[in-house]
Structures are given as C-alpha cells and as structure tokens.
Amino acid sequence: MSVVRRRRRNAGGGTNAWTFSEQLDNAAWTLITADSAYTIDAVAAPDGTISAEKVRATTVTNTNHGFSRAMPAGVTANVKQTVSFYVKPAEKNWCWVRMTAKDATVRTGWFNAATGANGTVNASLTFRSSFVGNGWYRLSITTDPLAGAGAGLVEIGFCDVDNARAYASVIGDGMYFWGLQFELNTLFPGAYVKTTNNPI
C-alpha cells in the first residue's frame, strides 16, 4: 500500500511548494507561446485585493494560450500530488489543465468556469471544484506523477470548447487566474497558501 507523505502545513492547513503564487509575471512562470500575454492585477481576486492576473491572446493564431511550470523538486514518484488555483471567466469560459508526468505521460482535463462543470477529464486526473463567489471557482487536480527521469510539467490555459486546447483566438480574449498552489504528496487540496520567494 502506498503511503502519502505530507509536508509541514501552515496554521491554515495548507502547503505550497510553488513560489510567487500570485505573480504570474514572475520568471518562475512561463507563457506557453509568444501569442499570449498577462494583464497584471486585472481584477479583484477571491480575497478582495486587486491582484488577479488575466492571461490573454495577443494574436489571431490558431494555437494554445496559457502558462506552465515544472513540478517542484520534492515530488515523490508514484505518490499522488495536488495542484489548485482560482479561475474566473473573462471572454472565455473553458479552462484546461495538462499534466506531463515524470515519464512524459500526458494527461489533460477541461473545466467550464462559467458553469462549474467538468468537461472531458483524463481518467488518471481527479478534478474537484468549489464556487467561492464573485464568479471565481477554486479548481484542484490530483494525479500520480509516475516515475521517470523528467521533472514533470503543469500547463494551464483557456480555450473555446471542451476537449480542444487550440483555437483561432481573438486578440484580448482570455481568463482570470489567481492563487496557484502545488501541494506535495497529498490526495486533497488544503487551505490556500500565498507564497512569494519561498515555498511554505
């Protein structure tokens, strides 16, 4: 039987191995293509501060729009990991999450941030969502990173419809994101934990 190992949790019950959880413009995060950009501090976040970012299309190219980050160094092979973030529709309602495991296995799922309904989700991903008010959902994704030589990668973006990441975009179209969190070796998301230059 596998054992889920837990990092030290903060007083609110969560951990976050990703730094700069509210600063997508930091170099820790990478835009997937040059056809996207961030609008920084675009709208009120779930905590009421004007700190949520908009990820938006900058061209009309038929491509993927979003951002990515490697899984943290502390990921344990073959033990469940949980990613979570807050998402709100802007011009687009559909959000997708693409997880590349350490052995390069790719798994993708879609979520409708207007209705709160899951779309197509790979059987190896567990999507959970909760509405937190003012149009925002907190979405969590739990998966096994498997074993392999790679670091593992998480990609998050927006699109037109379920089960299709790329689309012919309109300049300025996008979605709002905030509060990115990676909880090592856990089956469920804990409380959101803000980070800057240090994990918690």
Sign of CA pseudo-dihedral 148, 79, 22, 60? positive
Indicate the domain borders of the chain: 30-183
- Write out the chain's pLDDT in tens, 200 residues: 333 333 445 545 789 999 999 999 999 999 999 999 999 999 999 999 999 999 999 999 999 999 999 999 999 999 999 999 999 999 999 999 999 999 999 999 999 999 999 999 999 999 999 999 999 999 999 999 999 999 999 999 999 999 999 999 999 999 999 999 999 999 999 999 999 999 99
Q: Let me know: does 168 contact 62? Beta carbons within 8 Å.
A: yes
Distance CA 110, CA 167 (A): 14
What φ, ψ does residue 118 adopt, rounded to 5°?
A: -70, 150
DSSP per residue over 89-123, as a string?
A: ESS--EEEEEEE-TT--EEEEEEETTTTEEEEE-T
Q: Let me know: does 184 contact 16? Beta carbons within 8 Å.
A: no
Residue whose C-alpha is closest to residue 169's, from 155, 157, 156: 157
Q: Let me know: does 25 contact 2? Beta carbons within 8 Å.
A: no
User: Residue 12: its pLDDT value, please?
Assistant: 52
CATH number among 2.40.240.20, 1.10.3720.10, 2.60.120.260, 3.40.50.2000, domain 30-183: 2.60.120.260
Q: Let me know: does 131 contact 116? Beta carbons within 8 Å.
A: yes
